[in-house]
Amino acid sequence: MTRTRMHRVAGTSLLALTLAAPLALAPVLTPPAHAFFGGFGRIVYDPTNHAENLLTAARTLEQINNQIASLQNEAQMLINQARNLESLPHSSLQQLQQNVGRTRQLLDEARNIAFEVQEVDQAFEREYGTPDLSMSEQQLLTDARTRWSNTMGGLQDAMRVQAGVTGNIEAQRAEMATLVEQSQAATGALQASQAGNQLLALQSQQLSDLIAVVSANGRAEALSEAERATAAEQGRIQRERFLTPGTGYQPGNARMFNN
């Protein structure tokens, strides 16, 4: 090979290396995974990547829907808790207190002997004890009349209490209907509980009326029995006085038909 040809080959190789070096050192640029550029700058559709994107979007939407449902449940729970804390708009306390007050007033107006232990003891010691043999006939008669008055007063008190309790029945019926209606329309646990408590209070008031009637009837019976027992003892003393020589009956002469 001649010297001139060797210089030509060397120059050609050096030019080739010079042109290839920038290509080897330059980074490899690839189009995005979702598209490829074809001729005239058009985007080529990638179905696999599109399906993955739809699946990711669906999962994201499902998570958002779950979060919305969770927030709705929490809001409903808070609403229910607020309803459970609502108080019953109706209160029967005043009506029940009025009914109890009327019955109590009738008991307080008991004639002659009140419903008090100390006063009962004093009255029985004073008026129902064993009559004294030294008492005058007038005093015996006065005590007997007092006991009769106590008995009649007890019977009247019993009838007045019965009438008062009977008068409470209509008010109790109306109040019971209202409370049952309130209980059925309760929006929360607190309202239902308060309605139930007021129904129990109404039953307690009815039991109080029943106790008042039983007490008044028992008092009237006791006064009647006490009067009967005391009258029997007083009759025995008066009979003994009548039959005692020198103080009782003295025989004498009687004139009949002007003879």
Predicted confidence (pLDDT) per residue in 78-108, tens digit: 877 777 777 788 888 888 888 888 888 888 8
Q: Is residue 11 in a domain?
A: no
- 203 pLDDT more than 70: yes
CA distance 62 to 105: 72
b/e map 156-185, b = 16+ CB within 10 Å:
ebbebbbebbeebeebbeebbebbeebbee
Q: Which domain holds residue 49?
A: 40-84
Q: Residue 186 phi/psi, 5° resolution?
A: -65, 135
**Residue where the block lists tokens 């139930």:** 196
101 with 185, same domain: the answer is yes
122 with 236, same domain: the answer is yes
- 214 pLDDT more than 90: yes
121 with 209, same domain: the answer is yes
Confidence of residue 250 (pLDDT cuts 50, 70, 90): low
- 167 pLDDT more than 80: yes
Please report the pLDDT score of residue 210 as a whole number. 92
Confidence of residue 221 (pLDDT cuts 50, 70, 90): very high
> Mean pLDDT over residues 65-78, rounded?
87
Task: Please state the pTM of the whole predicted model.
Answer: 0.59
Q: Is residue 24 in a domain?
A: no
Q: Is residue 68 in a domain?
A: yes
Please report the pLDDT score of residue 15 as a whole number. 41
From the list 240, 253, 42, the residue with the least C-alpha distance to 133 is 240
Confidence of residue 161 (pLDDT cuts 50, 70, 90): very high
Phi-psi category of residue 22: left, alpha or beta, with phi > 0 → left and psi -120 to 50 → alpha? alpha
Q: Is residue 254 in a domain?
A: no
48 with 169, same domain: the answer is no
Please report the pLDDT score of residue 35 as a whole number. 47
From the list 164, 162, 145, the residue with the least C-alpha distance to 220 is 162
Neighbouring C-alpha atoms within 13 Å toward the C-beta of 171: 19
Residue pair 146/227 in contact (Cβ under 8 Å)? The answer is: no
Please state the separation of Cα 164 from the chain's center in Å. 27
124 with 238, same domain: the answer is yes
> Mean pLDDT over residues 154-173, rounded?
90
- 17 pLDDT more than 80: no
Q: Is residue 107 in a domain?
A: yes
Q: Is residue 117 in a domain?
A: yes
From the list 147, 111, 152, the residue with the least C-alpha distance to 128 is 147
210 with 129, same domain: the answer is yes
Domain count, the chain: 2
Q: Residue 44 phi/psi, 5° resolution?
A: -90, 125
57 with 116, same domain: the answer is no
Give the CA distances from residue 137 to residues 11, 132, 141, 142, 251, in Å, rounded to whole numbers and listed in that order.
Answer: 172, 11, 6, 9, 21
> Mean pLDDT over residues 116-124, rounded?
85
**Which of 17, 50, 84 finishes a domain?**
84
Give the CA distances from residue 28 to residues 17, 22, 24, 33, in Å, rounded to whole numbers and listed in that order.
Answer: 19, 12, 9, 14
pLDDT digits 0-9 by tens, 174-193: 888 888 888 888 878 888 88
Q: Is residue 15 in a domain?
A: no
Please report the pLDDT score of residue 179 as a whole number. 87
76 with 128, same domain: the answer is no
74 with 101, same domain: the answer is no
**Which of 30, 55, 84 finishes a domain?**
84
> Mean pLDDT over residues 229-246, rounded?
79
137 with 222, same domain: the answer is yes
b/e map 41-55, b = 16+ CB within 10 Å:
eeeeeeeeeeeeeee
- 28 pLDDT more than 50: no
Residue pair 243/159 in contact (Cβ under 8 Å)? The answer is: no
> Mean pLDDT over residues 203-222, rounded?
91
Lowest mean pLDDT among 3-12, 72-81, 120-129, 227-236: 3-12
Q: Is residue 193 in a domain?
A: yes
200 with 107, same domain: the answer is yes
Please report the pLDDT score of residue 18 as a whole number. 44
Higher pLDDT, 65 or 81: 65
* Strand-pair category, 35-37 with 43-45: antiparallel
126 with 201, same domain: the answer is yes
Confidence of residue 259 (pLDDT cuts 50, 70, 90): low
Please report the pLDDT score of residue 21 as a whole number. 42
